[in-house]
Structure 1
Amino acid sequence: MMDSIRLVGQSGHSSDPTLGKNALDVMHEVIAELLTYRQQLKDKYTSDLFAIPYPTLNLGAIHGGDNPNRICGYCNLEFDVRLTPGMNIDTVRADIQERVKRVTEPLGIHFEMGEIFSGVPAFFAEENSAMLKAAEELTNHSGITVQFGTEGPFLQELGMDTIVMGPGNIDQAHQPNEYMSMDMINPSIDVLTKLITKHCL
């Protein structure tokens, strides 16, 4: 899930802090609350299936204010949460909203939360998955868990035997000059053709 938090304070001249409510100062406290929550998620939810065995909460972007000599009247924070299996997106979103409210309400700061991306529930293939076994045989690699989002959970909800497989390396994702090596493509086409032939024809 990817969400945003917008704090609305009141701008004023920076020579007198009493003239306004600094949204950036309050966002500092909101961030501290989110970092505490991140640690609590890490302590509460673990899954040894993953290389990173706990949920992650990444603070990805922050924007606020318009001038160094003005009290910051607004501040936006954008963040991303990656859940482990068994966690509920709506519960996490409600937890975060309650924590932001706990910080902002006593200070008289208005906040709004917005969904950037509603989120994808975590999922994993069953150990007896025929698709997983076939893919392992065709590639000579054991299945592993990955920590990025796909359409997989939605297909699994429809009752489909679902795995995530394809060419590329996640280490290159979202990097400058992101690329996929050409020598990965033909072997992938071959494996996908064999899987389709075995399971769909």
Structure 2
Amino acid sequence: MSVFEAAVALLAEMVAYPTVSDRSNRALAEMLAGRMAGQGARIRLLPDLGNDKVNLVASFGPDRAGGVMLSGHLDVVPAGEGWTSDPFRLRREDGRLFGRGTCDMKGFIAACVAMAPRLATCGAPVHVVLTHDEEVGCMGAVALAEVMAREGPRPAMAFVGEPTRMAVIEGHKGSYEYTTRIAGRDGHGSAPDRGINAGMVAARLALRLDGLAAELRERRPQGRFDPPWATINLGRITAGAARNVIAGQASVEWEMRPVVPAEASHVKRALAAFVEAEMAAQPGLVIETECFGEIVGLEPRAANAARDLALDLVGGTPGLVPFGTEAGIWQGLGIDTVLCGPGDIAQAHRPDEYLEEGQLAACLDMLEGLAARLGAGRL
């Protein structure tokens, strides 16, 4: 069987594991761990506190610092409605591989595992790193980064195989998600001064967020991102029970996408001041913000060996993407990091998600080139 067909067969196996983020990924992780252990890898399975989610680190080659990390996540988003076939059964049709996660991002993982026997003979460290819960805040990568900081591995470079159509991506914004909950005091609408209207506080919070968004836009009028400035989006406001009842409860769901961490810090300081002033003005008012994930961005840097190597392997010019990934977490460990993987992000998270066979083949070619560089001692 060719390496390509082996990758397709493994992808079919992987799709059959419905590793939606609210379910365990352990069975799939253990299957892949067994496969790579048989190929000579040193295996570490690192469970979360609930013991049903695991990160998998499979290390090939010498046990030393340096080398390359191939990074992917095992979880997928829910299948939802609108599929024309079983989302958890691979369908191969007209040069496309249909199934939930084929594009985002089990196709890349299948390519890495199919190439593992080749990578294992390179003589340099190669780590296949597979995480849990990327789709709901990169929680697995955050936990794994803490372990790696203490215990390793310490690769020199990381290739994150998110779907980029095998283009080289050197940067993306952060993605920070929150819900601010406001507890006031309800009462009859005819006597608004006797209550604390949480809906009104939510409205003022919305206006403050809008003002901060304008500030961020003025700070960075130009740049390579689209748009170049940090953004704030208010996704949903809920408040109250009826038009003649003082709204005792409200919530504001919002996100920001900073270009640099300092912009996120500015927003947090401004909102802390807003909350302090509101609560001081209305004794009994409670405002609390829950964080659902703070995915740091991947900062484009002048010196990035992973980007340069990826360009050498696949060509093109480095670009940027608007979506968040685990890449910034690895960069935070001092690892030169790049995004480059098979598939189109436009197909991710949609019914009838698919990966083009040509994209999978191109990924295997890139990994073969990487193995050749490692084997020649050029890295």
In which range does the TM-score fall when normalised by the shorter chain?
0.7 to 0.9
Equivalent residue number for residue 202 of structure 2: 27
Higher strand share: 2
Q: Distance in 2 between matches of 1:11 and 1:19?
A: 8
**Cα distance change of structure 1 residues 55 and 32 upon mapping to structure 2, 3 Å threshold:** same
1:66 maps to a residue whose letter is A
Q: After the TM superposition, which residues 1-201 of structure 1 pair with which residues of structure 2 at under 5 Å, given as runs? A: 1-45=176-220, 48-85=223-260, 87=262, 89-108=264-283, 109-117=285-293, 119-173=294-348, 176-177=350-351, 179-183=353-357, 184-199=359-374
Name the SS of the counterpart of 2:187 in structure 1. Answer: coil
- For normalisation by structure 2, the TM-score amounts to 0.47
Q: Distance in 2 between matches of 1:193 and 1:68?
A: 65
- Bigger-Rg structure (1/2): 2
Q: Distance in 2 between matches of 1:29 and 1:178?
A: 42
State the shift of 1:40 in Å.
Answer: 0.5
**Cα distance change of structure 1 residues 198 and 159 upon mapping to structure 2, 3 Å threshold:** farther
Deviations 1:104-135 (A, max 9, x none): 53244321122121x13333343443322232
Give the root-mean-square deviation of aligned CA atoms. Answer: 2.7
Q: Which moved more, 1:183-192 or 1:160-169?
A: 183-192
**Cα distance change of structure 1 residues 44 and 104 upon mapping to structure 2, 3 Å threshold:** farther
State the shift of 1:160 in Å.
Answer: 1.8
- For normalisation by structure 1, the TM-score amounts to 0.82
State the shift of 1:163 in Å.
Answer: 0.6
State the shift of 1:71 in Å.
Answer: 1.7
Q: Which moved more, 1:5-14 or 1:124-133?
A: 124-133
Q: Which moved more, 1:97-106 or 1:20-29?
A: 97-106
**Cα distance change of structure 1 residues 196 and 78 upon mapping to structure 2, 3 Å threshold:** farther
Identity percentage of aligned residues: 26
Q: Distance in 2 between matches of 1:6 and 1:133?
A: 45
Name the SS of the counterpart of 2:246 in structure 1. Answer: coil
State the shift of 1:29 in Å.
Answer: 1.1
Deviations 1:86-106 (A, max 9, x none): 525444322222123334532
**Cα distance change of structure 1 residues 74 and 160 upon mapping to structure 2, 3 Å threshold:** same
Aligned length: 199
Structure 2's unaligned 5+ residue stretches are 1-175
Q: Distance in 1 between matches of 2:352 and 2:275?
A: 35
Q: Distance in 1 between matches of 2:344 and 2:277?
A: 41
Structure 1's unaligned 5+ residue stretches are none
2:219 maps to a residue whose letter is K
Q: Distance in 2 between matches of 1:78 and 1:178?
A: 29
Q: Distance in 2 between matches of 1:16 and 1:30?
A: 23
Name the SS of the counterpart of 1:126 in structure 2. Answer: coil
